[in-house]
Amino acid sequence: MAARKGTSNLEAVNVQVILRCRPVNKDEIANRTPQVIQVNEKQSEVVFYQNVAGKMIGRSFHFDKCFGPESGQARLYDQAVSPIVEEVLDGFNCTIFAYGQTGTGKTYTMEGGDRNSEDGHDLSEVAGVIPRAINQIFHHLDSINSEYTVKCSFLELYNEETTDLLAIGDALSRTGDKNKLRMLEDKSGVVVQNLEEIIVKTSADIYGLLDRGSAKRRTAETLLNKQSSRSHSVFCVTVHMRETDTSGEEVIKTGKLHLVDLAGSENISRSGAVDMRAKEAGVINKSLLTLGRVITALVEGSGHIPYRDSKLTRLLRDSLGGRTKTCIIANIAPTVQCQEETLSTLDYAHRAKNIRNRPEVNQRVSKTAHIKELNAEIDKLKGELFA
């Protein structure tokens, strides 16, 4: 690959923040649990009700988009995620985080509902962001005249250790050291050494990868006596495209999409400090805590941004105040029992709206096109020399 081209889009853009409130579940309906959230989708507004001296007082929060309990997967995807995937297909790096308390729908949003109850190859209503994004990517690639490769990786971060969810091998051997991947810094950012990158040929392949990743996650969870609510998963799709532009020039574009299902936010207090109870229980999640501190530092314009303090922020450094387009989907539950965590999530998400990134397109003229360009230049110079 040769000369870097088209790094034109350097305007600062804010991190996009989307709010999603899940529906009440069967138990909550049976127990007639009071609800404290009202979502006004048209106004992109969420109202949080609190009982103050016997009176319900509403507090309003605005986000880029808000989705209430009646909004299904397709609607959220079409309105909020599809434009981001279009950016990936234009050669940008984009990251979507699912943030929120355990049980608010982060995994439902990212991966989808129970795949076994549906035809796994179908984009059913319960399908989440990952299969829908892959579907959109292939739909686009099949409709244009372009050579392409689509690769996926899937990793998990637990206790500051990185595990490859797609590596072949039994779950038991995953507990060994050889399955703990190392992160190395190079000029282009952080690379996870030996991370499996699987080439995906059709959009239906994605269900096999998701099942493989989830099965490994579940087995290791039981074997290691750990909790999935305390781990982060990062699904990455890389799309390489070789196209011919309108001037007949061959260009290579690479777009990358990171889809991050974060650990449950319940142990981090509203100020971003470690919750005392969490400290006592020894369940401090360094990566989630550092993510909060990075957001605070970026929002306050601090000179030092503590990216290096955790694996998650090292890996996703570019998505926070860097060259990536970033979106946070903040998930909440509508019920009164969750009100404290809901308010914490609303505050966190609200602050994150102020982070600014400078997205850059990854486009390069291909080698053959560059050689053609140089040959034309030589011919021109020869012509001038012998004229």
Three-state secondary-structure class, residue 278: helix
Between 61 and 108, whose beta carbon lies closer to ligand ADP? 108
H or E segment at 313? helix 311-315
Please tell me the chain's helix, strand, coil percentages from 3-state DSSP, rounded to the nearest 5: 40, 30, 35
Q: Is 213 in the site for ligand ADP (CB under 6 A)?
A: no
Q: With helix as H, strand as E and coil as C, how does 214-229 read? A: HHHHHHHHHHCCCCHH
Residues 6+ apart with CB under 8 A from 306: 290, 293, 294, 297, 313
- List 6, 34, 68, 103, residue binding ligand ADP (CB under 6 A): 103
Q: Is 108 in the site for ligand ADP (CB under 6 A)?
A: yes
Q: Is 256 annotated as a binding residue?
A: no
- List 16, 93, 104, 231, residue binding ligand ADP (CB under 6 A): 104
**What residue number has its CB nearest to ligand ADP?**
105
Q: Is 267 in the site for ligand ADP (CB under 6 A)?
A: no
Binding mask 308-347 for ligand ADP (x = CB under 6 A): -----------------------x----------------
Residues 6+ apart with CB under 8 A from 292: 268, 272, 348
Q: Is 113 in the site for ligand ADP (CB under 6 A)?
A: yes
Binding-site size, ligand ADP (CB under 6 A)? 12
Residues 6+ apart with CB under 8 A from 173: 179
**Bridge partners, residue 52, by sequence:** 55
Q: Is 101 annotated as a binding residue?
A: yes
**Tokens found for residue 295:** 């957001």
Q: Is 61 in the site for ligand ADP (CB under 6 A)?
A: no
At closest approach, how far in Å is the CB of 96 from ligand ADP? 14
At closest approach, how far in Å is the CB of 228 from ligand ADP? 8
Q: For 314-382, give the DSSP string.
A: HHTGGGTTSSSEEEEEEEE--BGGGHHHHHHHHHHHHHHTT-EE-----EEE-HHHHHHHHHHHHHHHH
At closest approach, how far in Å is the CB of 112 from ligand ADP? 9
Q: Is 246 annotated as a binding residue?
A: no
Could you tell me if 138 and 264 are in contact, meaning their C-beta atoms sit under 8 angstroms apart?
Answer: no
**Binders of ligand ADP among 11-30, rule CB under 6 A?**
22-23
Distances (CA, A) of 332 to 46, 51, 74, 143, 336: 11, 18, 19, 37, 11
Q: Is 335 annotated as a binding residue?
A: no
Q: Is 50 annotated as a binding residue?
A: no
- Binding partner of 100, given Mg ion, ligand ADP, none, CB within 5-8 angstroms per partner class: ligand ADP
At closest approach, how far in Å is the CB of 103 from ligand ADP? 5
Q: Is 202 annotated as a binding residue?
A: no
**Binders of Mg ion among 94-113, rule CB under 5 A?**
106-107
Q: Is 233 in the site for Mg ion (CB under 5 A)?
A: no
At closest approach, how far in Å is the CB of 106 from Mg ion? 5
- Chain centroid to Cα 278, Å, comes to 26
Q: Is 107 in the site for ligand ADP (CB under 6 A)?
A: yes
At closest approach, how far in Å is the CB of 91 from Mg ion? 31
Task: Determine the Cα–Cα distance for residues 233 and 51; give it in Å rounded to an integer.
Answer: 36
Q: Is 120 annotated as a binding residue?
A: no
Which residue from 196, 238, 233, 257 is spatially nearest to 312, judged by alpha carbons?
233
Task: Determine the Cα–Cα distance for residues 164 and 93; give it in Å rounded to an integer.
Answer: 21
Q: Is 105 annotated as a binding residue?
A: yes
- Chain centroid to Cα 328, Å, comes to 8
Could you tell me if 259 and 243 are in contact, meaning their C-beta atoms sit under 8 angstroms apart?
Answer: no
Interface segment toward ligand ADP; rule CB under 6 A; list 26-34, 104-112, 357-365, 367-375: 104-112
Residues 6+ apart with CB under 8 A from 147: 241, 242
- List 105, 131, 213, 292, residue binding ligand ADP (CB under 6 A): 105
**Binders of ligand ADP among 122-151, rule CB under 6 A?**
none
Q: Is 100 in the site for ligand ADP (CB under 6 A)?
A: yes
For the annotated binding site, the residues are 100-107
For the annotated binding site for ATP, the residues are 100-107
Q: Which residues bind Mg ion (CB under 5 A)?
A: 106-107
Q: Which residues bind ligand ADP (CB under 6 A)?
A: 22-23, 100, 102-108, 113, 331
